Amino acid sequence: MKKFLAALLAAITLIFAGCARPSGYREITQEEAAKIMQEQSGYVILDVRTEQEFAGGHIPNAINVPNESIADKQPEQLPDKNQMILVYCRSGRRSKEAAQKLADMGYTDVREFGGINTWQGETTAQ
């Protein structure tokens, strides 16, 4: 009986662990993203809006790979699947989609932080 209960508990734990967050990427706050940008290096800031939206203003040093262009093929702008990638869009919907697609392609450190429409940090236009 003890073995059965232990196995049942382990199975339940695995099931709920899988529900804790979206598979493959982490959602972080904009404050956490800003802190990473200030204190760390070696990350990529990925704007997944359209080229026109990007040209209208973006987070400094961000690269633009529109969500619609992310499919099954690894984007050439993101050659290192182990590099930290901070993903945003306008409101947060496309960044979640893009983050999941990247995670599904094997990227190991994808962090989604919502949309530029609520970003309190610096922005720049091309």
Both tokens of 126, joined, read 């091309």
Domains of the chain: 24-118 (3.40.250.10)
pLDDT one-digit tens code per residue, 32-62: 999 999 999 999 999 999 999 999 999 999 9
Average pLDDT of the residues in 77-102: 97
Distance between CA atoms of residues 6 and 23, nearest Å: 26
Count of other CB atoms within 10 angstroms of residue 54: 20
Q: Can you give the pTM of this predicted structure?
A: 0.81
Distance between CA atoms of residues 47 and 63, nearest Å: 6
Average pLDDT of the residues in 68-81: 95
pLDDT one-digit tens code per residue, 93-126: 999 999 999 999 999 999 999 999 999 999 997 6
Active site residue ranges: 89
